[in-house]
C-alpha cells in the first residue's frame, strides 16, 4: 500500500517535530498535523519561526523547508482524518489525577477520544499508528473502539513509539538508533516502514509484535531513568566519603558492558516521560500482582524524589538553616537544556520546597516563559497563586536575578550559564555568596578562586 496522505493528531513536542521530519524526507507525502488547541496551531503556522510552540534546535529550518509544500498544521481534525490513509496518534497521556490508578496509571481519555473520532469520520480503511507513550495493550483498546463504533471499514493498528529526546529531537529523528514498529498486519507494517526508509537504513528498523513494542517504550525509559537514579544515589555517597561522582562515572563508564552515557549526576531527572513511564510500569506490574517487580522500579522514582529534596535541604542547611526572606537566584527552569519544556522539571520541586521555607526566589531561564513557571507552581497547589506570585519573581536577565541574592542555584545546564561574568555576579551578591550547582556545570576551582562558596552534587 502506498501512502499519499498522513494525518497526525496532536501537535505537541512529539507530533510536531516528528511530522516535520517525515514531511521533509518524504516530499511526495502530504502530512497534516492537527490539534484541538487553535493557538498552538496558529503558533505552528506563524511567519516568524521564533514563535513555533516547541523550541528545538534545527526545527525552524525543517519547518521552513516543508511547511506549505507538503506539511500543514490545521485545526480541522475531521478533514485530515477522512483524507489520510495513515493516522498517527500523538496526543498527551498524562498520569491520572483522579479515580482508580490516580498518581500512577496513564490517563487514556485523549487517546480514546481520538479513536472515537477516527471511527466516526473514517469511510475508508486506515492504518492507525500509536506514537504517544501508552500502557501495554492500549492497541487492543483502540482497535476495539474502532471496530465497534466504526462504519465497517478496516483498521490496522500499529505501535511506533518515539525515542527522540527533547533538545536533540531533530538530530535524533535524522539519525535514530532504531525505529520500532509493532503490529500484526504485514502490509500495514511495510507501509510505515517505507515512510521511514526514506532516510533510515532498513537494518535499523525493528519489527515486533504489538505488545513487545508497547512494552519496549516503557522499559527503555525505565532503564534510562534507572541509570540516572543509580548515579544520583552514588552522588550522595560520594559527598560523604570524599569520592567524586564524575570520576566514579568516568571510571565505571569505560567498562563497555556499562557504557559511558547517561551517567551524569544531577539534581534529578525530569521531563514528560521518565516519571510517567516508570509509574506506568509500576502500575502495570502491581495490577498483575507482581509486587517485587513493582517495588523494584518504584525505587527509581523514590531516589529521584530524594535527590530533589536533598538538594533543597542542602541549600537551606548551608545558608545557616534558614532561607526565610532570603533571595535565592535560580538559573534555569526547564527540565534540561535546549528545550522550553518544564514538565516534571526538578526546578519546580526545589522551588516549592524553598518557598515552604519562605525564601524569595528569582528565576532566569533563556527559553521558558514566565506564565509557564507560575503555571507549574500553581499546579502543585501547595499555596495560592497570589502567594506564588509574591514569593517568586521571573526576571529576564541573569545578572538582575543574581543581584543581592544570598545564594544561587543552577537547575538547568544551559551552555550560556558557563560564560556569564561570574566575577560581576559575585560582586553583586550578598556575602558569603553561595552557589549550588545542581548540574555540575561550572568550574569549581575558578569559582572558589573568585570567592564563592561552591557546592556541587556528588563532590
Ligand atoms: C564479575 C564482573 O563481570 C567482573 O568484572 C568482576 O571482576 C568480577 O565479577 P564474573 O562474576 O566472573 O565477573 O562473571 P559475569 O560475567 O559478570 O557474570 C556474573 C553473573 O551474572 C553470572 O552468573 C552470569 O551468568 C550472570 N549474567 C551476566 C546474566 O545472568 N545475564 C547477563 O546479561 C550477564
Ligand atoms: C527521554 C528519553 O531519552 C527519550 O528516548 C524518550 O523518547 C523520551 O524521554 P527526554 O525526557 O526528552 O527523553 O530527555 P532525556 O535526555 O532522556 O533526559 C531526561 C532527564 O534526565 C532530564 O531531566 C535530564 O537532565 C536527566 N539526565 C539525563 C540526567 O540527570 N543525567 C543524565 O546523565 C541524563
Ligand atoms: P507530547 O509531549 O506527547 O507531544 P503535548 O502535550 O506536547 O504532548 O502534545 C499533545 C497535543 O495533543 C496537545 O497539543 C493537545 O492539544 C493535543 N490533543 C489532545 N487530544 C486531542 C484530540 N482529541 N484531538 C486533537 N488534538 C488533541
- Among the candidates 180, 208, 236, a domain finishes at 208
Query: In terms of domains, do 182 and 320 share one?
Result: no
Sign of the alpha-carbon torsion through 33, 25, 93, 439: negative
Does the residue 294 lie in any domain?
no
Does the annotation mark 273 as catalytic?
Answer: yes
On the CB side of 163, CA atoms within 13 Å amount to 23
CA–centroid distance, residue 162 to ligand 2 (Å)? 13
Query: Residue with the nearest Cα to atom 7 of ligand 3?
Result: 12
Domain count, the chain: 2
| E strands in 12-149 | 30-34, 71-74, 86-89, 126-130
Does the residue 270 lie in any domain?
no
**pTM of the entire predicted model:** 0.94
Cis ω for the linkage preceding 432 (within 30 of 0): yes
- Among the candidates 208, 235, 263, a domain finishes at 208
Does the residue 285 lie in any domain?
no
CA–centroid distance, residue 31 to ligand 2 (Å)? 28
Predicted pLDDT of residue 95: 84
Element (H, E) at 7: strand 5-9
Work out which ligand 2 atom sits closest to the CA atom of 267.
30
Query: In terms of domains, do 310 and 441 share one?
Result: yes
Query: In terms of domains, do 68 and 193 share one?
Result: yes
Look up the domain containing 451 and give its range. Answer: 302-456
- Among the candidates 190, 208, 226, a domain finishes at 208
Query: In terms of domains, do 315 and 186 share one?
Result: no
CA–centroid distance, residue 15 to ligand 3 (Å)? 8
Does the residue 213 lie in any domain?
no
Work out which ligand 3 atom sits closest to the CA atom of 14.
4
Query: In terms of domains, do 315 and 446 share one?
Result: yes
CA–centroid distance, residue 10 to ligand 3 (Å)? 4
Pocket test for ligand 3, best of 36, 87, 115, 270 (most atoms within 8 A of CB): 36
How many CB atoms sit inside 10 A of residue 93's CB?
Answer: 25
Predicted pLDDT of residue 18: 97
Predicted pLDDT of residue 93: 87
Query: Residue with the nearest Cα to atom 20 of ligand 2?
Result: 269
Does the residue 111 lie in any domain?
yes
CA–centroid distance, residue 302 to ligand 1 (Å)? 27
Query: Residue with the nearest Cα to atom 15 of ligand 2?
Result: 165
Which residues form the pocket of ligand 2, taking CB atoms under 6 Å from any ligand atom?
Answer: 162-166, 221, 224, 228, 262-264, 266, 269-271, 273-274, 335-336
| Grid coordinates of 421 | 561574568
Q: Please, which residues bridge with residue 31 across strands?
A: 6, 71
Residues 6+ apart with CB under 8 A from 180: 159, 160, 161, 163, 206, 207, 208, 213, 216, 217
The candidate with the shortest Cα–Cα distance to 193, out of 125, 129, 273, is: 129
Do residues 292 and 364 make contact, with C-beta atoms less than 8 angstroms apart? no
How many CB atoms sit inside 10 A of residue 143's CB?
Answer: 17
Does the residue 139 lie in any domain?
yes
Pocket test for ligand 2, best of 266, 279, 281, 457 (most atoms within 8 A of CB): 266
Query: In terms of domains, do 445 and 309 share one?
Result: yes
Query: In terms of domains, do 199 and 308 share one?
Result: no
* Separation CA 38–CA 74 (nearest Å): 8
Decide: 211 in ligand 3 pocket, CB within 6 A. no
Predicted pLDDT of residue 151: 87
Closest ligand to residue 253's CA:
2
* Separation CA 345–CA 339 (nearest Å): 11
Query: Residue with the nearest Cα to atom 25 of ligand 3?
Result: 35
Does the residue 176 lie in any domain?
yes
pLDDT in tens, the chain (459 residues): 789 999 999 999 999 999 999 999 999 999 999 999 999 999 999 999 999 999 999 999 999 999 999 999 999 999 999 999 999 999 988 888 899 988 888 888 999 999 999 999 999 999 999 998 777 788 888 999 999 988 889 999 999 999 999 999 999 999 999 999 999 999 999 999 999 999 999 999 999 999 999 999 999 999 999 999 999 999 999 999 999 999 999 999 999 999 999 999 999 999 999 999 999 999 999 999 999 999 999 999 999 999 999 999 999 999 999 999 999 999 999 999 999 999 999 999 999 999 999 999 999 999 999 999 999 999 999 999 999 999 999 999 999 999 999 999 999 999 999 999 999 999 999 999 999 999 999 999 999 999 999 999 999
Closest ligand to residue 162's CA:
2
* Separation CA 233–CA 245 (nearest Å): 10
DSSP string, 338-379: T----TT-HHHHHHHHHHHTT-EEEEE-SS--HHHHHHHHHH
CATH at residue 394: 3.40.50.720
The candidate with the shortest Cα–Cα distance to 453, out of 299, 319, 346, 297, is: 319
Does the residue 81 lie in any domain?
yes
Q: Please, which residues bridge with residue 180 across strands?
A: 206
Predicted pLDDT of residue 287: 93
* Separation CA 236–CA 243 (nearest Å): 10
| Grid coordinates of 313 | 535541604
Query: In terms of domains, do 17 and 163 share one?
Result: yes
Amino acid at each position: 500500500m502506498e501512502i499519499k496522505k498522513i494525518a497526525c493528531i496532536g501537535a505537541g513536542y512529539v507530533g510536531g517535530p516528528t511530522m516535520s521530519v517525515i514531511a521533509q524526507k518524504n516530499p511526495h507525502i502530504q502530512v497534516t498535523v492537527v490539534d484541538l488547541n487553535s493557538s498552538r496551531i496558529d503558533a505552528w503556522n506563524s511567519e516568524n519561526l521564533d514563535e513555533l510552540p516547541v523550541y528545538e534546535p534545527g526545527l525552524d529550518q525543517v519547518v521552513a523547508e516543508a511547511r506549505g509544500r507538503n506539511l500543514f498544521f490545521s485545526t480541522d481534525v475531521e478533514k485530515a482524518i477522512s483524507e489520510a490513509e495513515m493516522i498517527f496518534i500523538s496526543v498527551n497521556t498524562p498520569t491520572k489525577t483522579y479515580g482508580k490508578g490516580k498518581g500512577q496509571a496513564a490517563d487514556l481519555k485523549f487517546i480514546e477520544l481520538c479513536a472515537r473520532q477516527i471511527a466516526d469520520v473514517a469511510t475508508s480503511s486506515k492504518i492507525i499508528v500509536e506514537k504517544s507513550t501508552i500502557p501495554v495493550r492500549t492497541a487492543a483498546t483502540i482497535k476495539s473502539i474502532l471496530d465497534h463504533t466504526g462504519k465497517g471499514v478496516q483498521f490496522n493498528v500499529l505501535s511506533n513509539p518515539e525515542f527522540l529526546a527533547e533538545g536533540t529531537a531533530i538530530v535524533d529523528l535524522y539519525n535514530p538508533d532504531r525505529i520500532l514498529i509493532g503490529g500484526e498486519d504485514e502490509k500495514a507494517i511495510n507501509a510505515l516502514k517505507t515512510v521511514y526508509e526514506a532516510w533510515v537504513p532498513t537494518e535499523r528498523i525493528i519489527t515486533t509484535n504489538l505488545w513487545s513494542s508497547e512494552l519496549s517504550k516503557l522499559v527503555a525509559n525505565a532503564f534510562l531513568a534507572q541509570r540516572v537514579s543509580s548515579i544520583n544515589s552514588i552522588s550522595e555517597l560520594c559527598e560523604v566519603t570524599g569520592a567524586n561522582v564524575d570520576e566514579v562515572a568516568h571510571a565505571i563508564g569505560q567498562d563497555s558492558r556499562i557504557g559511558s552515557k547517561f551517567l551524569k549526576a544531577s539534581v534529578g531527572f525530569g521531563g514528560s516521560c521518565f516519571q510517567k513511564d516508570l509509574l506506568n510500569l509500576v502500575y502495570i506490574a502491581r495490577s498483575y500482582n507482581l509486587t517485587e517487580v513493582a517495588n523494584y522500579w518504584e525505587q527509581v522514582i523514590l531516589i529521584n524524589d530524594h535527590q530533589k529534596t536533598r538538594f533543597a535541604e542542602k541549600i537551606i542547611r548551608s545558608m545557616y538553616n534558614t532561607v526565610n526572606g532570603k533571595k535565592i537566584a535560580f538559573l534555569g527552569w526547564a527540565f534540561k537544556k535546549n528545550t522550553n519544556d518544564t514538565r516534571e522539571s526538578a526546578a519546580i520541586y526545589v522551588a516549592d520546597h524553598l518557598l515552604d521555607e519562605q525564601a524569595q526566589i528569582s528565576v532566569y531561564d533563556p527559553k521558558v516563559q514566565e506564565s509557564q513557571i507560575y503555571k507549574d507552581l500553581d499546579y502543585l497547589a501547595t499555596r495560592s497563586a497570589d502567594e506564588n506570585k509574591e514569593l517568586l519573581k521571573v526576571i529576564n536577565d541573569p545578572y538582575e536575578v543574581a543581584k543581592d541574592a544570598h545564594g544561587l542555584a543552577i537547575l538547568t545546564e544551559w551552555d550560556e550559564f558557563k560564560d556569564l561574568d561570574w566575577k560581576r555576579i559575585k560582586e553583586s551578591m550578598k556575602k558569603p555568596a553561595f552557589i549550588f550547582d545542581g548540574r555540575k556545570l561550572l568550574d569549581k576551582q575558578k569559582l572558589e578562586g573568585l570567592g564563592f562558596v561552591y557546592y556541587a552534587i556528588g563532590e
